[in-house]
Amino acid sequence: MNRLAPSILSADFSKLGEQVSLIEKGGAGIIHVDVMDGHFVPNISFGAAVMKSLTGKTKLPFDVHLMITDPDKYAPEFVTPQTEYITIHQEATIHLHRSIQVVKNLGVKVGVALNPATPISSLENVLSDIDMVLIMSVNPGFGGQKFIPVALEKVRALSKLKAEKGLNFDIEVDGGVTLGNVADVAGAGANLLVAGSAVFGADDIVKRCEDFNNIIK
Ligand code: DX5
Ligand code: ZN
């Protein structure tokens, strides 16, 4: 089943709890949590404390996207009963196989994210170990950027590879996803659709989530 994953990076942090209630009401499937360290990406967002302030305030699971150097060290901080995925970047760790095991051993699903310039072939030897591949459709660091079309080709190629190998990892697309392109993204094979500014920038956040769901479900 396809799920909408609104990124709280674009939410109004002064009323985060309320905004999360709106996306839940609108039918969002999971909360995308963008963690940036000002080192792996040129921006700092927020840490585990902000995410943990939402536990119990929503029934939605957390989809943690770690855009940080040294994910092995900080991943444990993001484990809560609501954490479904912790995703690390292929480019952020020298020993990807080890980092994947570190996250798996925390008892949550593990995802690996690829920047726009990183080929899917870089995951060939770990694909059967992971629960999700996150295809970045912008260079990570900021919300509100424009969708980079090569991401669609990567999703198609990855879907094909997944079918050929008989694997069943999820495919997530993140960055520049809008009502205008989400049909193409889901059609290419992505089942987790991240949208930040396209959700939280709307005047009516509930309706915007419903509009997304009408397209992707
Ligand atoms: C980019 C983040 C994305 C971003 C999505 O570094 O990983 O999740 O916030 O925001 P939009 O949908 O506005 O591109
Ligand atoms: Zn993200």
As beta bridge partners, residue 194 has: 5
CA-nearest of 182, 71, 81, 90 to 134 is 90
- Distance (Å) from CA 65 to ligand 2 centroid: 5
Residue 29: its pLDDT value, please?
98
Q: Ligand 1 within 6 A of 143 CB?
A: yes
> Ligand 1, from 31, 34, 136: best to mutate by most atoms within 8 Å of Cβ?
34
- Distance (Å) from CA 174 to ligand 1 centroid: 6
Tell me what percent of the chain is helix, strand and coil, each rounded to the nearest 5. Answer: 40, 20, 40
Q: Which residues are catalytic?
A: 34, 174
Q: Ligand 1 within 6 A of 138 CB?
A: yes
Q: Ligand 1 within 6 A of 176 CB?
A: yes
For residue 104, give both structure tokens: 């798996």
pLDDT digits (tens, 9 = 90+) for 142-178: 999 999 999 999 999 999 999 999 999 999 999 999 9
- The mean pLDDT values, 10 residues at a time, for the chain of 217 residues are 98 98 98 98 98 96 98 98 98 98 98 98 98 99 98 98 97 98 98 98 98 97
* pTM recorded for the entire structure: 0.98
pLDDT digits (tens, 9 = 90+) for 7-21: 999 999 999 999 999
CATH topology for 3-216 is TIM Barrel (3.20.20)
Helices and strands (H, E) in the chain, number of each type: 8, 8
- Check: CB of residue 23 under 8 Å from CB of residue 54: no
Q: Ligand 1 within 6 A of 151 CB?
A: no
Q: Which atom of ligand 1 is nearest to the CA of 138?
A: 1
**What 8-state DSSP symbol labels residue 107?**
T
Domain ranges, ordered by start, for the chain: 3-216
How far apart, in whole angstroms, are the C-alpha atoms of residue 84 and residue 51? 13
Q: Which atom of ligand 1 is nearest to the CA of 139?
A: 6
Residues with CB under 5 A from ligand 2 (ion): 34, 65, 174
